[in-house]
Amino acid sequence: MQAMVIEKVQDEARQGEAFAPFAGDPNIYSKKFYIESYGCQMNFSDSEIVASILQEQGFGATRNVEDADLVLLNTCSIREKAEQTVRKRLTEFRKIKNQKPGLLIGVLGCMAERLKAKLLEEEKLVDMVVGPDAYRTLPGLIEEAETGQKAVNVLLSRDETYADISPVRLDSNGVSAFVSIMRGCNNMCSFCVVPFTRGRERSRDLQSIVAECRDLWESGFKEVTLLGQNVDSYYWVNPSGGEPITFAHLLEAVALIHPDLRVRFSTSHPKDITEAVLQTMVKYENICKYIHLPLQSGNTRILQMMNRTYTREWYMAKVDRIREVIPGCGLSSDLIAGFCSETEEEHQDTLSLMEYAGYDMSYMFFYSERPGTLAARRYPDDIPLEVKKRRLDDIIQLQNRLSLKSNLADVGKVFRVLIEGNSKKSAADWMGRSSENKVIVFPKENNNLQKGSYVNVQIVDCTQGTLIGKIQD
């Protein structure tokens, strides 16, 4: 997940930084590719799968777009701002293509299906459009595009999981890695495009997930994050027989690889996180005590319009149970301001539930209508933009206070920290995270420590987004 720094995100999606990867020595490859990824961690994980497929075809990664023979944007469709960002980047890449006619430009991911005609024919910004389930066909699509034809494959699959592809770890810190355990989503939240862009849920087989996690551990990684649109609905039936494998079973299997391999997961739908999952988290120390539990709205009427399938009171009871079973568990959320017809009183319900839950951090947005969603078909987007922005600012300001309160409560405590690398502000300091997913910065007092080491750190101070500590003797 992102660090604990809370940014004042207005209308942006849950968007990660774009990145241009470097994977191995690019000089051993005859051609080079450049890729940028936007959106959720699933997109970044998908880019690592794409990199693996491209390497098999003789493409090496480059950080310099001017050196590339192939430029790819792995896109997000969850917010209008994300699409605007991608269009801007494609326009910039098109200018490079004018100077380098052999350059191929492709769009991957969630924008592919929805905007394929516009991107290919109307705006002529790209040569290829490839959906999330079509990455195996990239070699053929590249060959097609090289002939001057427009190459398209946006078909969704009922069984594609890329389980047999070993991802290339792009721009990895060598400590933490993402492992995709399932694809798609069966929850038809009315505001969300994911079921239409990524298809229905299909879970990857247990053995391949555990094998990938074990390989990461043996390669020196100390932390894996199990990824899915809704990991708690993971469900796999072994064709050879036996009991169905649930997410609790999978969590345990990965935790048993080694007690020093930290295990995280994201994202959880409140309706699906089970008692068995909570008890498994308690049973194994190396399963991190942190849950991302998206709320979206604190009002029951709005939740029903969103098709979230739970009420305000039910969500509060789930928070109570998490706190009871896992005292001190880190908790974060997703929040949407200004959904269709939301009143001021209903907005206040969101604020009061935030206070009740005491989130450590949140991803906060105002409602952005997405074409094709249930909400776009059923409900008018009737909240003025200035009202949405003002309500979002209320949410952000409250979350800032909650984050500072949460961090202040940790001053004086000691946490076991996994060192991820140098602090962004100073090479004289280490940066790592606690089990509860809080970023901790502390001076390099012990020369024996290195990236990937575990160390006990006492918290001596904090900011709103970061705990400041010292190594405990």
Task: Spell out the domains of the chain, with CATH numbers in brackets.
Answer: 26-153 (3.40.50.2300), 176-407 (3.80.30.20), 414-471 (2.40.50.140)
List, in sequence order, the alpha helices (H) in 424-470.
none
Q: Please give the pLDDT value at position 352.
A: 98
What angle is formed at CA 335 by the lines to CA 329 and CA 339, rounded to 5 degrees? 155
Q: Please give the pLDDT value at position 16.
A: 41
Q: How many CB atoms lie within 10 A of CB 439?
A: 22
How far is 132 from 199, CA to CA, in rounded Å?
9
Q: Please give the pLDDT value at position 27.
A: 58
Contact 413, 438 (CB under 8 A): no
- Nearest Cα to 90, choosing from 63, 125, 142, 43? 125
CA end-to-end distance (rounded Å), the chain: 30
Q: Please give the pLDDT value at position 387.
A: 98
Q: Please give the pLDDT value at position 217.
A: 97
- In the three-class reduction of DSSP (H, G, I as helix; E, B as strand; rest coil), residue 191 is classed as coil
- Nearest Cα to 255, choosing from 213, 221, 204, 293? 213
Low-confidence ranges of the chain (pLDDT < 50): 1-23
Contact 418, 432 (CB under 8 A): yes
Q: Please give the pLDDT value at position 123.
A: 63
Q: Please give the pLDDT value at position 81.
A: 74
How far is 106 from 125, CA to CA, in rounded Å?
9
- Nearest Cα to 79, choosing from 10, 150, 125? 10
Determine which helix (DSSP H) or strand (DSSP E) holds 416, and give its type and residue range. Answer: strand 414-422
Contact 432, 409 (CB under 8 A): no
Contact 441, 385 (CB under 8 A): no
How far is 130 from 206, CA to CA, in rounded Å?
27
- Nearest Cα to 209, choosing from 259, 273, 252, 269? 252
- Before 267, cis peptide (omega within 30)? yes
Q: Please give the pLDDT value at position 25.
A: 53
Length of the chain (residues):
473
Contact 73, 84 (CB under 8 A): no
How far is 403 from 358, CA to CA, in rounded Å?
8
- Nearest Cα to 197, choosing from 42, 380, 425, 328? 42
- Nearest Cα to 187, choosing from 134, 127, 154, 228? 228
How far is 390 from 370, CA to CA, in rounded Å?
21
Per 3-state DSSP, what percentage of the chain is helix, strand, and coil (rounded to 5)? 35, 20, 45
Spell out the residues 6+ positions from residue 282 whose beta carbon is closer than 8 angstroms to its own: 325, 326
